[in-house]
Amino acid sequence: MMKKTKLLAVLLMLCLMTGLGAQGQVDSGVQKEVELRWASIWVGNDSKAPAVEALVNEYNAKNAGKIKVVIEPQPDYNAYEQKVRTSLAAGQAPADIFTIKFNPTTATFYQSNLLMDFSKVMSNSWKQTFDAGSLEQSTVDGMLKSLPMETAILPIWYNMDAFAQAGVKALPTTMNEMWAAFDKLKAAGITPASQMTGDTNAWTSMIWFSHFAVSLGGTNVWDKPFTDPAFVEAAKLTKRMITEYSTSDAVGLGAGGSGGHFLAGRTAVFSNGPWYAGRADLAATPFFNSIKIAGLPAAGSTKDFMISRLQANICAASTKDKAKEAAILDFMQYLTSPASIARIAETSGAMFAIKTDYRPVKALQKQFYDVASAAKTTAFDLEAALGAEVTLEFAQQLGALALGRISAEEFCALVDRKIER
């Protein structure tokens, strides 16, 4: 009995001490030094994490005794977004600085007065360091409550070794050439494309669908009802890709499996963003040096565009404390400076909405920059344009479409029902 009581006492003491210790960290900002908490998604395994951490450490060293930035790691994005939503609903900002994926779902956060409106506090010279289009996309009803940081293009990846093996020497430039090349790949025993309907966004196939839809309906296609003929035709093309030119496990397959097929050389064509280029397992493949990054042949009248998205924006809590506001702005300017951004880009291969002279040395990463600058115009992908809920419905119904349970028209009508107007 005595032993049990002692154990209980030790556990409670331990719990209280640890609790108070952690609490003490939050309260340390009470001193003269301004402490800024940054809820960052660029942590853990993220390729940007080491550079971001180094930048924050350098900033803290430079501003010792005045400003201290503390990174609060947010490893699971979906749960983190729920946290942001909950804290805003409870009338509090989740942190002094926080990163979000910008899309119609997170754009609703702009309605909160808890977020700093950068349009009121940004100097012109600071504003000019940003890509104007990205700034415009991040502006809602005249408010700029998040700064565009990471951007991405979502092109198509071609394994040219596989194409050569099938007797195809150049990238297809028309849809007919593409089908012909895919037929040759099939005849050579290579599955043409990685497709998938699993996960919450059917990622790989969603990118293909976005390419088709924008080419067929124009760069403003996402403003149209989902029952528009452009979407119906894009759905038919995506179905054909999945049923005729992809692996047999495409229905229900997740992004890991879809990428795995490409990495294993089982498929010749893939789609993903620039972050995939820095993977060690990709660099270890025998065809690494023969990967070509490009768009899809135009399925419609819109050509020479690239699918892109705002990958991560950065927000700040509005505050009446002038010292804190000044500290936030100082750190944000430091973080978004071309020099800082170039360092993050260099180690991660990611692309940013801040203009820099940085160009990647690695060939594959360089192709992304070349493709982005060669594109005459850009258009959002489905998820970036219509939000997480619509994309979830898209993913769920894409499986049914591929299995022939619903027609392309029915598929589009089902997705259309999820769009809030």
Partner 1 sequence: MKQRITGVGLVFNSVKWLLLLSLLAVALLPLFWLLVSSLRTNLELQTNPFGWPEKLQWENYAKALSMASLPRLLLNSVVVASCAVILNSAVTAMGAFILARERFKGRDVLYTLLTAGVLVPVISFMVPYFSFITKTGLYNTLFALILVYTAVNIPVSTFLVTAFMKSIPRELEEASVIDGCGFLKRFTVIILPLSRSGLVTAATFCFIYSWNEFLMAMLLTSSIESRTIQLGIKFFSSQFITDYSSMYAAVIITIIPSIIAYIFLHDKIIGGLTAGGVKG
Instruction: Give the Å distances, CA to CA, from 333 to 99, 257, 314, 329, 349.
Output: 15, 40, 12, 6, 21
279 near partner 1 (CB under 8 A):
yes
Near partner 1 by CB under 8 A: residue from 31, 57, 86, 220: 86
Angle between helical axes of 255-263 and 203-217 (0-180°, round to 10): 90
* Contacts (Cβ under 8 Å, ≥6 apart) of 11: none
300 near partner 1 (CB under 8 A):
no
**Interacting stretch for partner 1, rule CB under 8 A, among 115-123, 263-271, 301-309, 399-407?**
263-271
Instruction: Give the whole-angstrom CA distance, residue 314 versus residue 174.
Output: 39
Cβ(296)–Cβ(216) below 8 Å: no
> Which one-letter amino acid corresponds to residue 41?
I
Closer CB to partner 1, 15 or 132, in the complex: 15
Strand ordering across the sheet containing 267-271: 191-193, 267-271, 156-159, 291-294
Instruction: Give the whole-angstrom CA distance, residue 243 versus residue 205.
Output: 12
Near partner 1 by CB under 8 A: residue from 25, 57, 111, 128: 25
Near partner 1 by CB under 8 A: residue from 34, 55, 95, 202: 95
Which of 295, 273, 258, 228 minimizes the C-alpha distance to 365? 273
21 near partner 1 (CB under 8 A):
yes
358-387: contacts with partner 1 (CB under 8 A): none
**Interacting stretch for partner 1, rule CB under 8 A, among 45-53, 109-117, 204-212, 237-245?**
45-53
55-74: contacts with partner 1 (CB under 8 A): 70, 72-74
Nearest distance from C-beta of residue 26 to partner 1, angstroms: 6
Q: Which two tokens stand for residue 399?
A: 């499986």
Nearest distance from C-beta of residue 277 to partner 1, angstroms: 11
117 near partner 1 (CB under 8 A):
no
The phi, psi pair for 142, rounded to 5°, reads 80, -5
User: What residues make contact with partner 1 under the rule CB under 8 A?
Assistant: 8, 11-12, 14-16, 18-23, 25-26, 37, 39, 41, 43-47, 49, 70, 72-77, 79-80, 82-83, 86-87, 89-92, 95, 101, 256-257, 259-260, 263-264, 266, 273, 275-276, 279, 281, 284, 311-312
